[in-house]
Structure 1
Amino acid sequence: MIYCLKCRQIKYTMQIEENIHSKELLDVLALLGIEEKQGKVYLALLELGMCSIQKISEVSGVKRTSIYNFLDSMQEQGLIFSIQKGTRSYIVPENPEILLQKAKKQLSLVQNTLPSLLSLYNMPGAYPKVKFYTGKEGLKRVYNEFIKKSKEPIYGFSDYEKMFSALDEDWLWEIPLERRKNKCKFYSIAKEGPYGRMVQKKDEEQYRQTKLVKEVQFDTEINIFSDKVLFFSFRRPFMVAVIEDRAIAQTFYSVWKLVWNSLK
């Protein structure tokens, strides 16, 4: 009696695990645009191989009439094909690698559509997107996610004395190396000082052009590129504000350019 109870418990546990696994597979198929009933039929076919509608219905739990209704759709998706043996028809599943091809096709479609979607996302009528990052980790995260990965020129108002007092010097010298790999040039209007002059001396090797200004107070570092304006505060508790808006970025760039052109 105890043995039978243990067998039932093991069988019940295996059924639960199998149901969870099937649910996960159905969720993946759904992401590829395959409806739940179609997914159940396809999974049943992968398990059975070539078989009749009746057998598919028994294993998948989907009614025969429903299966007949979407067989053509599954064939159009390249999931199955049918063969005739005598007077009987059998359904055969396609290799699951067809799903990878389907996913690649969908990814390609999204990539081709993305420019149009981004143009809508960045329309002038939309509200500016503002994000805040705090602490030293927040500063580093913004440098890693935006500055190091940018492939467009960056225009900045900088105070390197404040920057180098807030962040590790060795880590800061890594940033221009990453920019150089992406051919992203940095144009900096910076406050003159020991670090400012040190940075300027490294301009050529670090893919940067720096113009130093003596009588200026930059309490906030400002970086402008693409449709973004980044405001860095190197005073404790440290903070970065990232604004994404093409009109705002263009306005800040116009002000930056006016100052840049007035300097030697």
Structure 2
Amino acid sequence: MKEDNKELLEVIRRCGLDESEAKVYLALLTLGNGTVHQVAKESGLNRTSSYAVIERLKRKGFISNIKKVGKIYLSPINPQRFLQIQKENYANLERHIDDLNYLFTIAQKSPGVRFYEGKEGLKTVLEMIIEEAEEISIYGDGDAFKHSIPGWSEYYSGKRAARNIKSRLLLRGTSDAIETVRKLRRNPSVKNKLSKIRVLPEGYNIVGGFDVYNEKVIFYSFSGNNTAVVVESAIISAMMLSIFNMLWDMAEVYDKTLLNH
């Protein structure tokens, strides 16, 4: 193929033809009209391949048959048609761009889910929370959390305080959790003012938990292999926050009775 035709070949390909189709069409433009044999020779394709490509181009409307002196020749459409097709495609895209943008927006709002496993996975999630959250609602088994990542309960609490993250913790009503709440009530430090803690009555057998902040929910499982599932969804986070708030209000009456003893 001539060097100056390579650029033309690329232009034609960008109009929706594959490489073989572009070569055959360009060969016909060069010839004006031609037989299958002439087209195959000019395009550099073998005769068998040329037949298949020619049939595809006929179906697409880019070449047609003409009869000369009782013989069938192939003829290309005017190249101006490519420009018309591109204009039609652009106009069609403009008509439907709002619909496409709507689908894109909906897809972006679909829940995104990520999984983390093991102690290091949990640490990654907790560090993410520290970096992103301004307020967080935490529900779960504090004792199970301490056993899953030894030493991280105090570290995590300190980091939240250092970042001025407001926290509400709703914990399983174990003796340790109850004692923690009592200590906080007796020591109204700046750190403790950022954290509000309530405990659930006996009967709430929690072995995991969930956190809600921004538009994310993180579900935890502390039994067996530690697992955290991060769900990014405005709808799901709003639903889980409603559940948390309901339990938070239920725990208030219990806490007032419990902590007065």
> TM-score with structure 2 length normalisation?
0.50
Contact 1:139 1:239 in 2 (8 A): yes
**Aligned residue-pair number:** 143
- Structure 2 gap segments, 5+ residues each: 1-102, 253-261
Q: How do 1:58-69 and structure 2 match up within 5 A?
A: none
SS in 2 for 1:237: coil
Q: How do 1:108-187 and structure 2 match up within 5 A?
A: 126-146=109-129, 148-169=130-151, 171-187=152-168
Task: Specify the alignment match of 2:230 in structure 1.
Answer: 242
4+ runs of 1 displaced by more than 6 Å?
none
Tell me by how many angstroms 1:232 deviates: 1.1
Structure 1 residue identity aligned to 2:204: V
Tell me by how many angstroms 1:122 deviates: 7.8
Structure 1 residue identity aligned to 2:205: Q
Task: Specify the alignment match of 1:5 in structure 2.
Answer: none
Structure 1 residue identity aligned to 2:160: R
Work out the CA distance in 2 between the residues paired with 1:149 and 1:202: 25
Q: Percent identity?
A: 20
Residue 195 (structure 1) aligned with residue 176 (structure 2): yes
* Aligned counterpart for 2:217 among listed residues 201, 207, 229: 229
Tell me by how many angstroms 1:197 deviates: 2.4
Tell me by how many angstroms 1:242 deviates: 0.2
Deviations 1:66-121, CA, capped at 9 Å, x for gaps: xxxxxxxxxxxxxxxxxxxxxxxxxxxxxxxxxxxxxxxxxxxxxxxxxxxxxx99
Contact 1:158 1:221 in 2 (8 A): yes
Structure 1 residue identity aligned to 2:127: N
Cα distance 1:242–1:235, how it changes in 2: closer, same or farther (>3 A)?
Answer: same
Residue 208 (structure 1) aligned with residue 195 (structure 2): yes
- Structure 1 gap segments, 5+ residues each: 1-119
SS in 1 for 2:134: coil
> TM-score with structure 1 length normalisation?
0.50
Tell me by how many angstroms 1:172 deviates: 2.1
Which structure's CA Rg is the greater one?
Answer: 2
Contact 1:124 1:247 in 2 (8 A): no
